[in-house]
Chains A and B, each alone.
Chain A
Amino acid sequence: MLRNHPGLHVPEPLCRPGDEADFSRFTIPAAGALRRPPVHVDPAEIRDFAFSLVRVLDDGDHAVGEWAPNLRIDVLHKGLRAMLLTRAYDTRMVRVQRQGKTSFYMKSTGEEAVAVAAALALDNADMCFPTYRQQGLLIARDWPLTDMMNQVYSNSGDRLKGRQMPVFYSSREAGFFSISGNLATQYSQAVGWAMGAATDGDERIAAAWIGEGATAEGDFHYALTFASVYRAPVILNIVNNQWAISSFSGIAGGEAAPFAARGLGFGIPALRVDGNDFLAVYAVTHWAATRARAGLGPTLIELFTYRAEGHSTSDDPTRYRPGSEPAAWPLGDPIDRLKRHLIQLGAWSEDEHVSLVEELARHVKESGREAEALGTLKEGKRPPVSTMFDDVFRDMPAHLIAQRAQAGV
């Protein structure tokens, strides 16, 4: 933007509450338009990928172009199921939060493909370092919903002993690293994990996710520096869902350059992907994983998507953006798009879809009943209070033994 006086440029979104939704500033290239480079490509040769958008599903729901991953139908079914289950789980968890059974919740509505497609493109043994809204990783890895709900409720079945806020999951077994509320810390830790794996000649790789807002944190830049320097086998994902609570992506620097372009200065291959296109997310993640496993180092992926609902149950997005914005998002809904693609392939139908949605709702409800039998934040069984003093250190030191006695637990 040209200025006629020296002063502070404070980025503002094109529209605010009361305005019509406006995504005219986004250029959306046609599906299939981008070439698919070999995994050993020199990053300098694909600089344009940081400014474009890898898309596979076209407007007629066909998979087109070199990035089309030609997945087996059962993988597409698994992806659709995991995304639907993630949405059903989110819906239920918001309802129980509104009922006062837990303190807080964060939905991933509209972003389900980001986590689910990545989970299916990675090996189950690969280590994920997620931020919020990647609960689809756990669900796609068939992690029990009851275990997740127990964590949301901080009940007697919560393996984390009631220490973490809801949605701060952790599962070593599922390869899902503990979530931190201090943003971006997991990003550079993922690079450390990957460096450890590289040192051991381990075939496993690490993948990390960060919101576009948190790319402003120091840990983002540490991660890119170390990943580049040591060619760590890591996939660095930026989930650009356009909003960091009430701050639009321009406040994090997204107005000046796409977030993917952050990778260019580090010599890291950087790709922008339609984050609502299951096939595109799968294809690019698989490409990056192949690179990492071949010892070719890190890849930066910006997943261009939209946070269709509030930041959390404590947020009201109609206060800072037009209510019509989610419906106007030009890249559509990831579940609808994969569903239509499967129908177009003759591998799915509206009836099958309806009955799957019902089946998953029942599954979520039954899991919820199981979890609530173990307690909720407000009622029922909790972990013993004495466990509050456990795990500060491996062995409890004398001063904590004394404090536990003083607390009378």
Chain B
Amino acid sequence: MTMIEAINDAMHVALEQDPQVVVFGQDVGFFGGVFRATEGLQRKHGIERVFDTPIAEGGIVAIAVGMGAYGKRPVVEIQFADYIYPATDQLISEAARLRYRTAGEWWSPITVRSPYGGGIFGGQTHSQSPEGIFAHVAGLKTVIPSTPYDAKGLLIAAIEDDDPVLFFEPKRLYNGPFDGHHDRPVMPWSGHPASEVPEGHYSIPLGQANIVRPGADVSVLAYGTMVHVALAAAESTAVDAEVIDLRSLVPLDLGTITRSVQKTGRCVVVHEATRTCGFGAELAALVQEHCFFDLEAPVERVTGWDTPYPHAFEWEYFPGPKRLGDALKRILEV
């Protein structure tokens, strides 16, 4: 199963299991979404549970907050994460704080799905990674899968969660794993162990990282597409890296991170988002706080540059296996 099929399957399961689940957003109804994530949902679950909305991201999230307060469990799609900014007031000031400001009287059990990241020549309006902005907000959960298996299990967990969850989907991984070697043929998900997706209901608890490659020399903290880049970098450099897929930024599995860094003594953080105030800064600070006396080298960050995402130069912007591999070699020399 591809990641897009796994995401679609997760919504089928959620709609089947809980009559309060509703799915809506631009183009998600009849057409099934521009990336086909909601294909067949309306046909199977009816037009009142899966429907198209006006092009108004702020409105879509506001409607979700209101429906959530009513007692529904809305799952909404923002077509590209780049378009989420009109909805930030509803996400940051409303959804994130409704439980707090009412002392638990109301809450926002909403899931906001959105494709993010580069690698499809989307230029600066179809490539951004805004996860750090939302991870910074008290009251929001931020989840990012890296495989079909995780995508289904994490999305079901997100939908079942009573807190507002931003579920960012690495769109470059929708139809196949991508390790950053853009000049090689596209790989399919078939044959990849994590493309074996069980039927029916299962969930992966939010806040549990996954060690996708055990290693002894350096801990690589990654999520989304960068998990595959990290594996490729470890392979191409022959560095014995321990690659940790964080899966969710909030809640964060700090225990797995600190145990790993205490073992390896070195840490490289990798993400596609711009560097300054990115989530990598938080990870580096946490590692410094908790593992200072175990560290044999300063924590390194490999990230997108502090520029908007360019169209023609996206592979120069994208932190691929070469840049990460260089960092791995460099940190071992310290």
Which A residues lie at the B interface, using CB under 8 A? 127, 129, 159-161, 163-164, 168, 170-172, 177-178, 180, 182, 185, 188-197, 199, 206, 218-219, 222-223, 225-226, 229, 390-394, 397-399
Contact = CB atoms under 8 A, between A and B. Distances in A.
Given A192-B70, A392-B139, A225 B90 contact: no
Contacts of B53: 226, 229
B254 interface: yes
Contacts of A171: 105
A398 B89 CA distance: 26
Given A185-B90, A199-B22, A219-B58, A394 B66 contact: no
A125 B252 CA distance: 40
A189 B94 contact: yes
Nearest to B96: A392
Given A188-B62, A199-B72, A394-B161, 15 more contacts: A160-B102, A170-B101, A177-B69, A178-B105, A185-B90, A191-B66, A219-B62, A219-B89, A222-B59, A229-B53, A391-B104, A392-B139, A393-B99, A393-B141, A394-B163
A193 B89 contact: no
A399 B252 contact: yes
Contacts of B49: 199
A52 B250 CA distance: 53
B105 A193 contact: no
B66 A195 contact: yes
Among B22, B56, B139, the one with the most A-chain Cβ atoms within 10 Å of its Cβ is B56
A390 B72 CA distance: 23
Contacts of A189: 62-63, 65-66, 69, 94
Interface in B79-112: 86, 89-90, 93-94, 98-107
- Give me the 4 closest cross-chain CB pairs, A-B, nearest first: A192-B66, A222-B59, A196-B70, A188-B62
A178 B102 contact: yes
Among B66, B90, B106, B163, the one with the most A-chain Cβ atoms within 10 Å of its Cβ is B66
A394 B68 CA distance: 14
Contacts of A206: 66
Contacts of B66: 129, 188-196, 206
Given A193-B70, A392-B138, A164 B101 contact: yes
Given A180-B94, A199-B22, A192 B62 contact: yes
B251 A196 contact: no
